[in-house]
Amino acid sequence: MNANPSEKLAIHGGEPYRREPFPRRVMYDDREIAKVTEALRSQTLFQFSGKLVGEFERKFAEAYGMKHARAATSGTAAIHVAVGTVDPNPGDEIITAPITDFGSIGPILQQNAIPVFADVRPDTLTMDPADIEKKITARTKAIILVHLFGTAADVDTVLEIARPRGIPVIEDCAQAHRTKYKGRWLGTIGDLGCFSFQESKLMSTGDGGMVITNREDYWDRMRLFVDKGFARSGWGPRCYQFLGPNYRMSELTAAVGLCQLEKVDGVVQRRKHIGQLLSSLLEPIDGVLPATHLPESEHSFWLYPLRVTHWSAVKFGEALKEEGIPNMPGYTGVPMYLCSKALTERRTFGTSRFPIQDRTYAEGLCPVAEKAMQEFITIWFHESYSDDDIRDIAGGVAKVAAKLEWDK
């Protein structure tokens, strides 16, 4: 922390706590350059005539101790592959999270199923198993369990609810690579695990995704779903087994992915260290609550959620930003069912409003999530931050907490 912070908040005309910009994230180096060059020199970037996508899939599955992995073009595509694999009928329901990215929601609609939102726990902000159970109906086809910000939802309790009912559980691990829950990797506990390689994620290919499973029946379907349902068998008459999109990963993306897979454990370990350091520095500060997680779960800190108790998240976040500490109030501002016009205005397929023509997505649907969104900010940091950078974040928070007028 800086030794002599201004007595006056920057938002009130004082000097910012942190003046210099935080370090830029450095993700790629000569390893990626060499591997991409190898792909280009092969003169084929198509996965079925190249070798890198298949190698990436095999090594990713091995890293998680799983039998099968299928690459896709994005984390959203990975979720769509998982939804397409469980194969809902039009109008079936899939339970998902209110605090997440639209990538956890859009694939449900794209497969003509209905998103149902389960409220969150007030501590971890992950999905509440009790509310998941309340939302189950005879039409429930699957549960997309989102591991938020780098830590686990209560997987075992959700499985205890889902398994006797025959409901598959899809783990959304877009924000939780190489993170353990009760000694097991997230993504390996449910029926399908989905990962994102978008630029901000713990391992990045710019965009890209992966789905893993041990279920042979799911593997048979998901390997085709990525490729338009095409049952490839060499030259001759074609056979497309069912309707599927084209989510094939290219050799260029896989080249970067192979290098990133070698680095991700180090990235996660560094993020754990600086996340835990930030939590320890924030603990004594009155009016803020550090990030929490289930006792059985690790936290890989994709983002750092900080609860504030005496101010609105917007007011606190604005003051903190003026102190030179970047942040976002409430992550997406409001729960996903309130910030997507595909839901609030039923903008889906033409003017049909299908499949949610009889659904209303409005305030009050998940009251715990709605309240929490007004009470937390997310702080962005990454593995390129030094310990001193983290101390400056904590110092900025301490300054704002000490000097900002309460509004609660």
CATH assignment at residue 71:
3.40.640.10
The token duo for 36 is: 């991409």
* Annotated catalytic residue within 8, 67, 134, 201: 201
The H or E element containing residue 93 is strand 93-96
- The number of beta carbons lying within 10 Å of the beta carbon of residue 371 is 11
SS3 379: strand
CB 93 within 8 A of CB 116: yes
Query: Considering its fold, how many domains does the chain have in total?
Result: 1
Domain membership of residue 193 (yes or no) is: yes
- What pLDDT, on the 0 to 100 scale, is given for residue 7? 80
Residue at 336 is within a domain: no
pLDDT attached to residue 73: 98
* Burial per residue of 112-149, b for 16 or more beta-carbon CB atoms within 10 angstroms, e otherwise: bbbbbbbbbbeebbbbbbebbbebbeeebbbbbbbbbb
Q: 321-331, pLDDT tens digit by residue?
A: 999 999 999 89
pLDDT of residue 6: 54
- Report the first-to-last Cα separation within the chain, whole angstroms: 28
pLDDT at 187 over 90: yes
pLDDT digits (tens, 9 = 90+) for 256-272: 999 999 999 999 999 99
User: Over the stretch 335-360, which tens digit does the pLDDT of each residue have?
Assistant: 999 999 999 999 999 999 999 999 99
Reported confidence tier of residue 3, pLDDT bands at 50, 70, 90: very low
Active-site residue, 201 included = yes
Task: Tell me the C-alpha distance between 73 and 193, whole Å.
Answer: 15
> Would you say residue 19 has pLDDT above 60?
yes
Q: What whole-number distance in Å separates Cα of residue 29 and Cα of residue 41?
A: 19
Return mean pLDDT, the chain. Answer: 96
CA distance 120 to 28: 36
Alpha-carbon distance of 226 to 239, in angstroms, equals: 15
Per-residue model confidence as pLDDT tens digits over 91-107: 999 999 999 999 999 99
Which domain does 217 fall in, by range? Answer: 30-261
Residues 383 and 396: their CA atoms lie apart, in Å, by 20
pLDDT at 386 over 50: yes
| Mean pLDDT, range 114-125, rounded to an integer | 97
Q: Is residue 373 part of a domain?
A: no
Query: For position 5, what pLDDT does the model report?
Result: 52
Q: Residues 222, 227, 233, 236: is their CA dihedral positive or negative?
A: positive
Closest of 175, 150, 372 to residue 276, by C-alpha: 150
More confident of the two residues 6 and 352? 352
Q: Is 373 exposed, middle or buried (0-12, 13-18, 19+ CB in 10 A)?
A: buried
Asked if the structure places residue 353 within a domain, the reply is: no
Residue 4 pLDDT more than 80?
A: no
Whether the link from the prior residue into 90 is cis, omega within 30° of 0, is: no
HSE-CB for 232 with a 13 A CA cutoff = 10
Across the range 355-366, mean pLDDT stands at 97
Q: What is the pLDDT of residues 47-100, one digit of tens each?
A: 999 999 999 999 999 999 999 999 999 999 999 999 999 999 999 999 999 999
> Read out DSSP for 6-61?
-SS-GGGT---S--SPPPPP----HHHHHHHHHHHHTT---TTTSSHHHHHHHHHH
Q: Read off the pLDDT band of 117 (50, 70, 90).
A: very high
Q: E strands, 238-388, where?
A: 288-289, 304-308, 327-329, 376-379
83 is a domain residue: yes
Residue-wise pLDDT for 140-178, tens only, equals 999 999 999 999 999 999 999 999 999 999 999 999 999
The structure tokens listed for 204 are 């990045």
Mean local confidence (pLDDT), 357-386: 96
Rg of the chain's alpha carbons, rounded to an integer? 22
| Opening angle at CA 159, ends 59 and 98, nearest 5 | 85
Residues 192 and 70: beta-carbon distance below 8 Å: no
**Does the residue 127 lie in any domain?**
yes
- Which residue, 134, 142, 133, is CA-closest to 111? 142
Q: Half-sphere exposure of residue 230, counting CA atoms within 13 Å on the CB side?
A: 15
Instruction: Look up residue 309 and give its DSSP letter.
Output: S
Q: Does 324 reside within a domain?
A: no
* Percent residues over pLDDT 90 in the chain: 96
